[in-house]
C-alpha cells in the first residue's frame, strides 16, 4: 500500500490523499484549497496524478475543503463512484451546486467591474458541472465494510463534527489505514461525539487545533454579551458562518439566549444563506447524529427569519440596527456575507463575530489580526466595527480532545501522519503525540509519497 499527500499539508484546506494498493487507486477526500493566493492557485493547476486511473473517491464529509474539488475532478475525466455517508451525500447536493453558482457569480461580478487580472475571469467550475458530479455519489451505511476498489475495503464510522462526518478505514489483506477526517468534540452542544477509533496499522489525523485548547468560557454567555453590547449602541451583529454545522449551533444559541432572557426577545435575527436554510432542514431527517430532540430541532429552525432572494439580501444592508445577520461563508471568503461586511464593517457601532477557526490568508484571519481594511471585490473597505471571536464554538476537537481520542485506539499505529493543520499546529500535535503517547509521527510535505509496510 502507498499513500501520497496532495492537500491538507501545511494548511487546513485542500484535503486529498491518494491511496494505491496493487492495481487499485482511490482518492480520500477531494477538497478545495482556500486562503492564501498561492494555495488557491493549486485549484487551477494540473492534477499531480492520473485522474482517469482512480477507481473511486471516498469523502469523509461534505465541507468544501474536503469535497469542493469534486466537480473539477469529474470535469477532468474521473468517472468512478464517489462513496460517502447518506447525510454527506445530501449535504453535497446542497453545497456543491451552490459552490459552482457562487463561482459563476464571482466571475460575472469580476468581469462586469473589471477588478480581476484575468480577462475574462472564469469560474473553476459551474453549477452545471457540480450537478453532473453529483450523479456519481453513492451513499454507504456507517460502520459497515464495503469494497471500495479491487482488494481494498472501506468502512465509515461517526466522527461527530457535522452531519454525516466520518472517520474512514481502508483495509487490504495486509494493511489497515485509518483517516480521522475532521474530528468533532465530546461535548458539542448539538452533534454527537466521535466514535472510538478502530484498530489500524497507519493513521492520518487532523491537527486544526493541534496547538490550542478551546476556551473554558461558555460560548452562550459570550455571544449574549456581544449581542447586548452591540444592541445597546444600536449596532448590527454580523456573523460569517459555515452553512453546515456552525450556523445551526449559532441558531440554537440564539434561541436559548432569547428563551433565557439574555438578549432582547424582539431583536430581529436573519439567516441570509439559502444553502444554510436547506442544511438546517436536514437535521430533522438525521436525528441519530445530533443531540436535539424534535421540539428543540423545531426551535432551532425557527430562531431566525430566512432570507432567500438577492433583493431581500440587498435590503438588509439598508436596515438599521439593532439586528443580527448570520450569512455564509465562515471565513468570509465569499458568499453574501462579504456584501454585509462591505456595508457594516466601516461603522464602529457594529460588531463582526468570527465563530471558529480562520485559515491564514482569509478575510476572517485578517479581521482577527486587526486589519484596518479588507479587500472586497477589488476595493479596500475600512474596518471600524468591533471584531470578536468565539473560538469555543468550533466543531473541531482541540489537542486535548484529539489526544483523548487517540488513546482509545486498540494499539499504537506503526506510523501517524499529521495533516490538515497550519505548520505550527501540525508540529505541536506531533510533539505532543510523541511525548505523551510515544508514537512514531511525521508531518508530510505536499505531494510526498510513502510506502506502507505490511502489518505486523
Q: Over range 212-219, report the average pLDDT.
A: 86
206/218 Cα distance (integer angstroms): 25
Residue 456 lies in a domain: no
CATH of the domain at 306: 3.40.50.10890
Q: Which of 393, 413, 441 is the last residue of a domain?
A: 393
User: Mean pLDDT: which of 168-177, 267-276, 289-298, 356-365 is highest?
Assistant: 168-177
Q: Which of 350, 366, 393 is the last residue of a domain?
A: 393
Q: Which of 357, 377, 393 is the last residue of a domain?
A: 393
Give me the percent of the chain exceeding a pLDDT of 70: 99
- Let me know whether 414 and 385 are in one domain: no
Give me the percent of the chain exceeding a pLDDT of 90: 77
pLDDT in tens, 283-336: 888 988 999 998 998 898 889 999 989 899 999 999 999 999 999 888 888 888
Range of the domain at 341: 219-393
- Let me know whether 232 and 286 are in one domain: yes
Q: How many domains does the chain have?
A: 2
- Let me know whether 188 and 332 are in one domain: no
pLDDT in tens, 139-184: 999 999 999 999 999 999 999 999 999 999 999 999 999 999 999 9
Residue 193 lies in a domain: yes
Residue 132 lies in a domain: yes
- Let me know whether 37 and 185 are in one domain: yes
- Let me know whether 183 and 193 are in one domain: yes
Amino acid at each position: 500500500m502507498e499513500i501520497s499527500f496532495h492537500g491538507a499539508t501545511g494548511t487546513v484546506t485542500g484535503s486529498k490523499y491518494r491511496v494505491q494498493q496493487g492495481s487499485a487507486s482511490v482518492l480520500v477526500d477531494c477538497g478545495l484549497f482556500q486562503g492564501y493566493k498561492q494555495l488557491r492557485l493549486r485549484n487551477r493547476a494540473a492534477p499531480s496524478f492520473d485522474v482517469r486511473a482512480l477507481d473511486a473517491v471516498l469523502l469523509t464529509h461534505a465541507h468544501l475543503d474536503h469535497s469542493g474539488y469534486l466537480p473539477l475532478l469529474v470535469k477532468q475525466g474521473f468517472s468512478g463512484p464517489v462513496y460517502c455517508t447518506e447525510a454527506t451525500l445530501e449535504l453535497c447536493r446542497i453545497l456543491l451546486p451552490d459552490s459552482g453558482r457562487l463561482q459563476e457569480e464571482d466571475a460575472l461580478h469580476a468581469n462586469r467591474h473589471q477588478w480581476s487580472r484575468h480577462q475574462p475571469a472564469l469560474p473553476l467550475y459551474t453549477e452545471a458541472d457540480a450537478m453532473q458530479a453529483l450523479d456519481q455519489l453513492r451513499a454507504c451505511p456507517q460502520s459497515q465494510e464495503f469494497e471500495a476498489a479491487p482488494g481494498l475495503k472501506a468502512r465509515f464510522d461517526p466522527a461527530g463534527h457535522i452531519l454525516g462526518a466520518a472517520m474512514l478505514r481502508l483495509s487490504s489483506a495486509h494493511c489497515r489505514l485509518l483517516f480521522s477526517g475532521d474530528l468533532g468534540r465530546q461535548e458539542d452542544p448539538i452533534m454527537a461525539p466521535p466514535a472510538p477509533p478502530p484498530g489500524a496499522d497507519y493513521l492520518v489525523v487532523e491537527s486544526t487545533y493541534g496547538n490550542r485548547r478551546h476556551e473554558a468560557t461558555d460560548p452562550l454567555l459570550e455571544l449574549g454579551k456581544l449581542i447586548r453590547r452591540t444592541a445597546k449602541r444600536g449596532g448590527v451583529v454580523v456573523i460569517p458562518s459555515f452553512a453546515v454545522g456552525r450556523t445551526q449551533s449559532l441558531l440554537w444559541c440564539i434561541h436559548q439566549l432569547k428563551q433565557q432572557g439574555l438578549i432582547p426577545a424582539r431583536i430581529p435575527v436573519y439567516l441570509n444563506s439559502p444553502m444554510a436554510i436547506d442544511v438546517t432542514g436536514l437535521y430533522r431527517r438525521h436525528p441519530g447524529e445530533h443531540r436535539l430532540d424534535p421540539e428543540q430541532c423545531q426551535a432551532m429552525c425557527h430562531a431566525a427569519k430566512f432570507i432567500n432572494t438577492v433583493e431581500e439580501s440587498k435590503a438588509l444592508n439598508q436596515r438599521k440596527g439593532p439586528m443580527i445577520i448570520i450569512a455564509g461563508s465562515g471565513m468570509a471568503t465569499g458568499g453574501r456575507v462579504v456584501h454585509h461586511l462591505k456595508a457594516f464593517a466601516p461603522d464602529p457601532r457594529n460588531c463582526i463575530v468570527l465563530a471558529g477557526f480562520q485559515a491564514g490568508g482569509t478575510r476572517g484571519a485578517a479581521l482577527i489580526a486587526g486589519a484596518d481594511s479588507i479587500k472586497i471585490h477589488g476595493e479596500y473597505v475600512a474596518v471600524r466595527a468591533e471584531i470578536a471571536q468565539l473560538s469555543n464554538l468550533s466543531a473541531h476537537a482541540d489537542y486535548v480532545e484529539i489526544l483523548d481520542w487517540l488513546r482509545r485506539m486498540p494499539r499504537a499505529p506503526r506510523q501517524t501522519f499529521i495533516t490538515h493543520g497550519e505548520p505550527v499546529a501540525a508540529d505541536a500535535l506531533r510533539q505532543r503525540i510523541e511525548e505523551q503517547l510515544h508514537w512514531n509521527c511525521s508531518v508530510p510535505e505536499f505531494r510526498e509519497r510513502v510506502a506502507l509496510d505490511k502489518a505486523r
